Amino acid sequence: MKGRRRDVLQDDEILRLFLPGVITDPLERAVAMAMFWAGLRRSEIFGLKTNDLDWRTPKINVNHACKRFGTIAKREIGDPKWHKLREAPFPEELQSAIRACLTSFKFRQGRVK
């Protein structure tokens, strides 16, 4: 086999990840849900902008991807893989996780009292 072997989670293992208390950090929970429930790649998640989230339809417009990881100053945002814009599902559970993440971020920044 070429390349590095990847460990794949079984369906029941993925479902257990989202049980209450397993992933407690709001950002980690939102990222995990975006990967497993919306099928987003890590680079696409890091390239998301708030206007990419269509709360009405609901869908996620994948218009950007992070091309270079590292410090925030060195990150580079570009086109998604194969330069193909696409839409991803935006289920209610993921919407709730993103709302919780945004609320947590605003609270830590002193914007919510």
- Helices (H) and strands (E) counted in the chain, each on its own, are 4, 5
Report residue 2's pLDDT band, with 50, 70 and 90 as the boundaries.
low
Q: For residue range 17-41, what is the model confidence (pLDDT) as tens digits?
A: 888 899 999 889 999 999 988 999 9
Q: Which of 74, 77, 42 is nearest to 63 (CA)?
A: 77
The chain-wide mean pLDDT, for the chain, equals 82
Residue-level pLDDT at 102: 84
Q: For residue range 41-61, what is the model confidence (pLDDT) as tens digits?
A: 988 998 888 899 999 999 999
Check if the beta carbon of residue 77 is closer than 8 Å to that of residue 66: yes
Q: Which of 45, 51, 44, 55 is nearest to 95 (CA)?
A: 55
Report residue 106's pLDDT band, with 50, 70 and 90 as the boundaries.
low
- How far apart are alpha carbons 86 and 16 in whole angstroms? 29
Residue-level pLDDT at 58: 95
Report residue 64's pLDDT band, with 50, 70 and 90 as the boundaries.
confident
* Cα radius of gyration (the chain): 15
Check if the beta carbon of residue 87 is closer than 8 Å to that of residue 62: yes
Check if the beta carbon of residue 72 is closer than 8 Å to that of residue 56: no
Residue-level pLDDT at 101: 86
